[in-house]
Structure 1
Amino acid sequence: MTTKMNQIWAQKIMPRAPHLAMIFVTMLWGTTYLLVKVGLTSSSPMFFVGCRFAAAFAAIGLFSFKHLIRCTKYDLFAAAAIGFSITIGYGSQTIGLQYITGSESAFFTALFVPFVPFIMWLAFRKIPSKMSLLGIVLAFIGLVFLSGNSFIAISLNFGQWITVLSAFAVATEIILISYFSPKVNLKSVTALQLMFASLFAFLSMPLVGETTIPPFSITLVTLTVGLGIASAFIQLVMNWAQRVVAPSTAAVIYAGEPVWAGIYGRMFGEILSPSALLGGTLVVISVLVSEYRPKKRRQAKKAAAH
């Protein structure tokens, strides 16, 4: 019996461990929108982001000191690039949460999935598949419904626009992690990218009009430390899992995040309009469609490989 269980573990569960870990990350990620909105009652956005990632760096740095002192220039470059994308992504998302609900923010952020093949095309001239293009179209339609607009006159408010920017940054982060993770020291880069994310967030405060530091607050300390530890765990899992999981597959798994955020938001009283729910549903469908590959095509690729 033990031998059989070991075989099942080795053949079926272990190969899926990165995927399962990433699914858990999306469940954890979905809670952060509500927590950030609470945190914004005691802090300005970029200061909150800076404190959050400073706590995340401290959490991982304690266990990565030996790796940090041996980091290379390439590790530093990779960490700075990923850290910058994290700052833009989380910073713009946090600013946007001052104007829109957590559930709405989560669905807008999910647009990063259709953005991944678009950015891959811009950066690497990798032509998107037909399904990816269809996903982009569905995502656009979902965006219109989610934002409460009509197709004749599309107008996003500031919170919605800046959250779309967040989606671009998250898509860039996923691509950068997949590009760098096989080439760098995982532990040192994970810690350093969090340090750079915190540093860039603090440096950006004057640029977004944050000229003063919020007063001390137990709520602020508790939330930034808690979210910092969660962010450290999330980034560590992302870097570890995306060594073997393709960016497109990772994007599909992360698409579960707005669903969890919507569930948590509903539990705490956030209610989306029928139009917004339809738009959010179309965004999730666009995610699945954009990464769908017909069975015949997959089999043809395997045959060609052999």
Structure 2
Amino acid sequence: MIGVTVIWGTTFLIVHLAMRSCGPLFFVALRFLAAGGASLLVFHKCMRALTMRELGAGIAIGISIFLGYSLQTYGLQSITSSQSAFITAMYVPMVPVLQWVVLHRMPHLMNWVGIALAFGGLLLLAGPDAGGGAFSRGEAATLLGTVAIASEIILISRFAAQVDSRRVTVVQLLVAGILAFATMPLGGEAIPGFSWVWLVCSGGLGIASALIQLTMNWAQKAISPTRATVIYAGEPVWAGIIGRIAGERLPPLALLGALFIIAGVIVGELRPRGSKAVNDG
């Protein structure tokens, strides 16, 4: 799962660059259809045993993936990969809240402290000048995408122990790709002219997405949602490092906001000695 965060961190800059040659829905469709197709080739034999429960789980997770990545990719048209990565990290403190709403597991006090820190960091990170408190369309879309990504984490943990990871991975990837392709007309997108940029980026990220989703489905059989999100918190750190190498520069207040978000992620999982972790599973 740590390896997943490294791969994840690199994807933000790649998608940001790909958005110069195609639209977000087209790119998400190509990325996940490639991922689903590759997974289907590898696991086609075991797909014959697909159950209705696995089909339902794959569709539910696939919808979350479609919403999360489509909104994130849309946002990357107008914000930097570093901004996107740190805003996306907000899904970590969102997971305990969603567990409370969906699974009726009350968040620990430290979860609420972490949420407060992360939200304060988000306000500092927002706006073209950072700290302005005004969200751009790209930032707002990315923030909405984090809710879908948090939902994906909850859904994977909900079904992980009851389904075959390989079959569910194939279904969820194909569902995400098909939904993105089907909604292109609604988003006013047409198929772009050929470019090696979107072809290579989507193909490469397709393979990466297949590996990421398979690893998540497999690993979360034994790891609770909140513990999984702590590991995933390394994602924006890698994205920030790679963005910095690529020449991206965040204003001082934005960097402070990014640190607040990371602090919120870590603090949200701290448990003082003798306290009871209500939602750790």
Q: Distance in 2 between matches of 1:206 and 1:120?
A: 34
For structure 2, the 5+ residue unaligned runs are none
- 1:43 is paired with a residue of what secondary structure? coil
Q: Distance in 1 between matches of 2:19 and 2:80?
A: 12
1:252 aligns with 2:230: yes
Residues 177-227 of structure 1: CA deviation (Å, up to 9, x unaligned)? 0111111111111111100010111112122221x1111222221111100
Partners of 2:62 and 2:172 within 8 A in 1: yes
**How do residues 82-97 of structure 1 correspond to structure 2 at under 5 angstroms?**
82-97=61-76
Partners of 2:5 and 2:232 within 8 A in 1: yes
Q: Of 206, 210, 217, which aligns to 1:239?
A: 217
Shift in Å, 1:148: 4.2
Q: Distance in 2 between matches of 1:242 and 1:299?
A: 18
1:267 aligns with 2:250: no
Q: Distance in 1 between matches of 2:264 and 2:46?
A: 40
Larger radius of gyration between Structure 1 and Structure 2? 1
For structure 1, the 5+ residue unaligned runs are 1-21, 301-306
Letter in 2 for 1:259: V
Q: With structure 1 as the length reference, what TM-score do the two structures score? A: 0.88
Letter in 1 for 2:164: N
Shift in Å, 1:156: 0.6
**How do residues 203-222 of structure 1 correspond to structure 2 at under 5 angstroms?**
203-210=182-189, 212-222=190-200
**How do residues 283-294 of structure 1 correspond to structure 2 at under 5 angstroms?**
283-294=261-272
1:79 aligns with 2:65: no
Partners of 1:31 and 1:260 within 8 A in 2: yes
Partners of 2:124 and 2:133 within 8 A in 1: no
Q: Distance in 1 between matches of 2:247 and 2:225?
A: 34
Q: Give the alignment's Cα RMSD to 1 decimal.
A: 2.0
Residues 233-263 of structure 1: CA deviation (Å, up to 9, x unaligned)? 0111111110001100110110110000000
1:59 aligns with 2:65: no
Letter in 1 for 2:229: A
1:192 aligns with 2:171: yes
- Counterpart in the other structure of 1:32: 11
Q: Of 28, 32, 46, which aligns to 1:49?
A: 28
Q: Of 167, 181, 184, which aligns to 2:146?
A: 167
Identity over aligned pairs, percent = 48
